[in-house]
Structure formats: structure tokens, C-alpha cells
Structure 1
Amino acid sequence: MTEPPAQPPTPPAQPPRTAWGRSEQQDFRSRVRGCLLGGAMGDALGAGIEFDSLEAIRSAHGQEGVTGYVPAYGRQAGAITDDTQMTLFTCDGLIRAHVRRDAGGWHPPTDLHAAYRRWYATQNDWGPDERKDSDGWLAREEWLYSRRAPGNACLAGLAGGRMGTMEKPKNPDSKGCGAVMRSAPFGLLIGWEPRLVFQLAGECAVHTHGHPTGHLAASAFAVIVHGLVRGASLPTAVQTALQLLANRPGHEETTAALQAALAAVRAGLPTPERLESLGEGWTAEEALGMGVYAALAGEDIRSALLLAVNHGGDSDSTGSICGNLLGTMHGDTALPPEWLPELEGRATMLELADDFALEMTHGQSLHATEGWLTRYPR
């Protein structure tokens, strides 16, 4: 096989459109909702135990570990973290990119960088009072103005005005999981080809995580989600990601992590100890491998999410990744209903998910309406 170019071409100005019937639209909307809500659910399940060892988790919550939400960040239940915050701004940035395309501008990495800068403002400002109309509606959601243990690489990468690129990435030595955990929405670009999803996720990951593992794991995650939203099985979607990784410089750690996750599923019944054999989840490839393993090994959505968070590592990120995968695969109506009412920000997520689905299915007809351009300014 030939080596890929150092920087693949930017996605085309007119990504392919899909012909949408009513049932297809309903299925897609359910999968987008499931991706956001499922990821937030896993995030919230892990939020209160993120820095605890497995021994400490069992000591505090019993031998099975947590079996539902526990207090975190001043909330009794359902608190989300920076993982969900940044995922929402990824959705916002992708919508804004498509809106701006019809005005003659098309460079999604720039729009995503601007979206992440809006998230960065939520980590430093007291509230949304100083937001401009051009910031759109999501940046004015007051509940998002709360620090939830954001990663240092994300904060440092977005602190200045310069945008990281493949040639000059931000934090070139960082391979933390902060780019992976926000990248599921790239996979929801259902009309795109997998290689372009892979490319765009990587181009936006280097805004904060320039190490090859940091951005390649984000690209692989996006492609796995993309396979699921198109109806592929999870093992098939993982194989597509492995194929796209194969000749990328520096792919070895991400490839090994995904292969280890598949091998762990074949090794026997799922246990926290088997999950921990894949790592702790602080680095990009470990978080991806652990999230994929839990999604594959769990008997059902509930057990998979609990498996994903009950370990001595980055529980919210592995839970978030697992939840993104399961929610995309099964849709929002399959998520455990008892964990939905207390989930922080649920109304915002549903609103954003429905807007994302509308943009992907009816975008061009929306771009001439004042209401849409107020929500997602050019």
C-alpha cells in the first residue's frame, strides 16, 4: 500500500447529501440524540469517581462499585464534566461550519476552533452576560459556565488565538484523551466518506493535542461512530478504523489499543480487572480502547456503562466514549430511562441534537431563515 500524503486534502466544499425519507430522518435523529445523551450519561456516571482507585470505589460503594449516579461538582446526581461540554461545542461548530458553507466559506477546522474557543470562555468567565449575538445560543447556556476538571492541554491549546494545524499542532507532545472524548459528533456526519471523517476529526484534534496518538485516536473514534450511525456493527466499525489507521505515521499505539480491546472481549467474561488491563484511560489510546471494550463486552447498555466507569482511572472519559458508541448504535429510546431525569443539561442536549439532525437533513432550506441564523450565526 502507498503512503498517504502528510496532510490529506480538506473535505470538499459540497459533501455528499443523502436522500432522506421520514423513517430515515427519525432513525438519524434518534441516533444523534443517543450519541449525546449516552455520552453524557456515561460521563455523569464516572464524574464522582474519576480520581478514585478501584479499591476505593468498592470500599465506598460496594463490591459492584457505583450502580448509578453519585454526588459530583456540587450536584447530588447527574453532573457532567468537560467531556460533555466540549462534545456539545463540537456539535455547535459543525452546524456553524455547514451554515457558513452556503455563505461561501468552507473551512471546518476554523469553525471548530472558534467553537472550542467559545467553550474556553465558559471555563474563564463568570457567565454568559458578556457573550455577543455572534456567539450563538449554546454559548449563552448558563449551566455550561462551570469548570469540571478540564484538561490542561485543552486549556493551554485554546488559550491563544493561533489555531493548531497538522503542520504546526498545538501541544505536539500531548496524547491525553481530551481530543478523543469530544470527537463523537464528527462521526455523525453521515453523508461523508469515512476517510474524510477521519481527516476532519484529526485536523480539529490538533487544536489541543498534537501527538500522533492524541489525534489519531480521535480520528479512529469518529470513524467508529460514523460506522455505527450508518448501521454497521461495532466490530465492523472498529475494523474500518483499523484500516484507515494502518499507514498513518505514528498509528501503532492507537492500533494496538483497539486490537487489545478486541482481544479482551474474546478472553472471557467482562470484569473491572480485565478492563484495567487495557490501561487507566488518561491517554487517548487507552480511553478509546477501554470505551470500545466496555461497549462490546457489556451484556446490555446499563451493564456496559457501569463496566466502563468502575475502574481506577479516567472514569468519566471512558464512560463518555462508551456511552457515545452505545447511544449511536441503539438510539436514545434504548438508554436506561432511570438515568435520564437527573442528567444535567438534558434539555440542552436534546435541543442541540435535534438542531444537528435538522442541519444534516434540511440544512440548505434552513440557511435562509432568520431564526436559524440567529441560533447559528455565520
Structure 2
Amino acid sequence: MDNYSSRVAGLFAGGAAAEAAAIAEENTEISTGTQLSLYVADGLLEVLEWAAQGQAADPPAAIWLALLRWYKNRYGAFPEGVPAAPDRWIDHYEFYPGDVDAATKTGLEEPEMGLVHKPHGLDATGADALMRAAPLGMLPQLDAEWVTTMSRQIAVLTHAEWVTPTAYSLLVHHLIGGKTLLEAVTEVLEWLDTTDDGAPLASRIRLSLGEGIQPPSTAADVLAAAIAAVADTLEEAVAPEQLYATAVTKAVNATGHTQATALVAGQLAGALLGNTAVGTPSKLKNYPMVEDAIDRWIKVTT
């Protein structure tokens, strides 16, 4: 497995295993953050599949339809008044009904998709938009400007606060491209320093890196805590699989929104260390879905 493929596999598998572990040590279910991130990934794959056939597709619309399919999978039917997208491979897996941000559910129940100038979730501070943001930074042939533009458009489908998920997509973009965590975080901080409304998140990240992890509650707190958990762990001189496990443990021990923090930390550690550090979390009930997503992503993007 080449370096890019290893990072992709590490991110998807690492996030799934970490999120499951945060719910309960012996949990075998794949929960909301992993589900949402895989549906965003499938929306992007559908765009690339159409492009390979010479047909254009609008990424935000394709991802909106993918998230509506997730809604149908979770709640049994499409929301009233929205387009009924045809099933794809991922829709045949049965999903665990874990916690969902109220803004995710109500945003997807709106008859029109959220737009940058008319976002859904105006008061939402939850982490669902953050937890689904990683795939937007994982396409190797696209640049940072595409990542930030697209991530904002996807965040506002349900959450008006777009800076945090966009910063995370950008962080993943740099890690998948081979930068170290410090290099990638530096790039993100520079972007935040020049972005409207970016200063509060930049301050949170710098504070977490300097003074340790604080119990996270909002999406911004979650991202800062997850970065700090991985950064602290990378200073230890141990094997990659121990680094991954320790980063996830630090994220869970931060308390607060442990599920989201663990998922993001697991994705970051997996992207940095590759799939050998994560291994195959085969105890997860629907892990074949994650394997399927990894195989499809690598096939279409390389």
C-alpha cells in the first residue's frame, strides 16, 4: 500500500475505531460521525464517477443528496419535500442510531439546501459538521483554495458556523499531502489569521497546544482538543500503533464531547501514521462498510 493509500485507510479506519471506543470500550457500532463522513465521501465519489463518464455534477448538491440518503438510512424515509436520491452501495448497511446534532436533522429536513448566503443552523455549535469534514480535504489532485471553498459550502447545509469544519478539512488536506502535524497546523493557523471570524478558533488551537487539553463542548473546542491530543502523543518515542492508541485515549480522557474529539483525533493520527498504526478494527459490526469506502476512494482518486 503506497503512502497516500495508507493515509486514507488510516484516516477512515482510525476515526471509526476511535469514535466507537469513545462511546464504550467494548462498543462494536459505527456511529454518527463516521456515518456522516462516509456519506460525504460517497457524495464526492459520485461526482468523480460522473466526471469519469464525461458528465459534470455539482459537488455541494451531490453531497446534500448523499446526506439525505444518510437521513433516510437513519430515520427510515427521506424528509418531506426533498429530492429522493437513488440508493448507492452505502445505503444497504444498517446504521446504529447514535446521537445526532439537532441542527443536522432539522437542516436536512429543510426543503431547500443550505447555501453560503442562506445557511441552515444559524445557532448551531455542535460538532456534526466538523466530524463529516475530513473527506473534503482528501482529494489529492485539488488545491487548498478548493478545499476551503467547498468545505464552507458543505458545512452550511446544516451548520452556519463554517470556520471550524473548514479548518479541519484544510488540516486534513495538508496531512494527506505529506506534511507533518506541526507544518499542517501552522498552515491552518495562517489561514485562520487571514480569514473572517478565524481568530477565535486560532486562539483556541494555540491555547490547547500551549496549556493542554480543556474539556470540549463546541466544535471549535473539539478540534483544538483533538489536535492537542495528537500533538502531545507524537512527542513519545513509541511504536506507531501505541501512538495511535495513546492519542485516542488522551482524546477520550479530555471528557466533554468525547465522541467527536476521539473521532477527530483518530482520523488525524490515522492520517499521520497510516493504516499499519491503526490495524483492522474488525470487531466493529459494520467494518466491511469502512473497508468498502476505503477501497472505492483509493480506486477512484488514484
Give the corresponding residue for 1:164: 114
Offset at residue 346 of structure 1 (A)? 1.4
Within a 5 Å distance, the mapping from 1:123-142 to structure 2 comes to 123-125=74-76, 134-141=86-93
Please give the alpha-carbon distance, in whole angstroms, between the structure 2 residues aligned to 1:124 and 1:348. 19
Instruction: Provide the secondary structure at the position in 1 that maps to 2:75.
Output: coil
Listed one character per residue, the Cα deviations across residues 260-287 of structure 1 (whole Å, up to 9, x for unaligned) are 22213xxxxxxxxx422xx42x311101
What's the CA shift for 1:354?
Answer: 1.1
The TM-score with structure 1 as length reference comes to 0.72
Distance 1:344 1:307 in 2: 24
Match of 1:292 in 2: 227
Q: 1:353, 1:105 → 2: CA distance?
A: 24
CA drift of 1:240 comes to 1.0
1:283 equivalenced with 2:218 (yes/no): yes
Quick one: distance in 2 between partners of 1:150 and 1:312? 18
TM-score (norm 2): 0.90
Structure 1 position 305, deviation (Å):
0.7
CA contact (8 A) 2:223 2:264 kept: yes
Shift of 1:313: 1.1
Q: Do 1:29 and 1:354's aligned partners in 2 also have CA atoms closer than 8 Å?
A: no
CA contact (8 A) 2:65 2:85 kept: no
Q: Which runs of 5+ in 1 are unaligned?
A: 1-22, 49-68, 71-76, 127-131, 265-273, 362-378
Residue 133 of structure 1 deviates from its aligned partner by 8.8
Matched residue type, 1:349: V
Matches of 1:344 and 1:86, distance apart in 2: 17
Q: Which residue of 2 aligns with 1:360?
A: 301
CA drift of 1:344 comes to: 3.0
Instruction: Give 2:51's match in structure 1, choosing from 96, 101, 111.
Output: 101
CA contact (8 A) 1:47 1:80 kept: no
Equivalence for 2:291: 350
Match of 1:47 among 23, 34, 44: 23
- From the CA coordinates, give the structure whose radius of gyration is larger: 1
Q: Give the match for residue 183 of structure 1.
A: 133
Matched position secondary structure for 1:123 = helix
Q: Which of 333, 350, 353 does residue 276 from structure 2 map onto?
A: 333
What residue is the counterpart of 1:32 in the other structure? Answer: 8
Q: Which consecutive unaligned segments of at least 5 residues does structure 2 have?
A: 78-83, 237-242
Q: Deviations over 1:145-172 (max 9, x none)?
A: x311111110011012311111000012
SS at match of 2:213: helix
Higher mean C-alpha deviation, range 94-103 or range 234-243: 94-103
1:97-151 Cα shifts (integer Å, max 9, x gaps)? 112234432321111111111111122118xxxxx8932110121x22x311111
- Cross-structure match for 1:88: 38
Aligned-pair CA distance for 1:241: 1.1
User: What is the identity, as a one-letter code, of the residue corresponding to 1:228?
Assistant: L
Q: What CA RMSD, in Å, does the superposition of the two structures yield over aligned residues? A: 1.9
Q: Secondary structure at the match of 1:31?
A: helix
SS at match of 2:178: coil
Distance 1:159 1:133 in 2: 14
Distance (Å, rounded) in 1 between the aligned partners of 2:173 and 2:232: 20
Question: In the TM superposition, what whole-angstrom CA distance separates every residue of 1:187-220 from its partner, at most 9, and x where no partner exists?
Answer: 1111111121121111101101003xxx111011
Distance (Å, rounded) in 1 between the aligned partners of 2:145 and 2:168: 12
Note the 1:1-378 alignment, pairs <5 A.
26-48=2-24, 69-70=25-26, 77-102=27-52, 103-125=54-76, 134-141=86-93, 143-144=94-95, 146-211=96-161, 215-264=162-211, 274-276=212-214, 279-280=215-216, 282-298=217-233, 299=236, 300-335=243-278, 340-361=281-302
What is the letter of the counterpart of residue 204 of structure 2? A
| Post-superposition CA distance 1:55-106 (Å, at most 9, x none) | xxxxxxxxxxxxxx23xxxxxx332320111011011011011122344323
- Amino acid corresponding to residue 348 of structure 1 in structure 2: M
For these two proteins, the number of residue pairs brought into alignment is 288
Percent identity of equivalent pairs: 26
- Between the aligned partners of 2:220 and 2:198, the Cα distance in structure 1 is 10
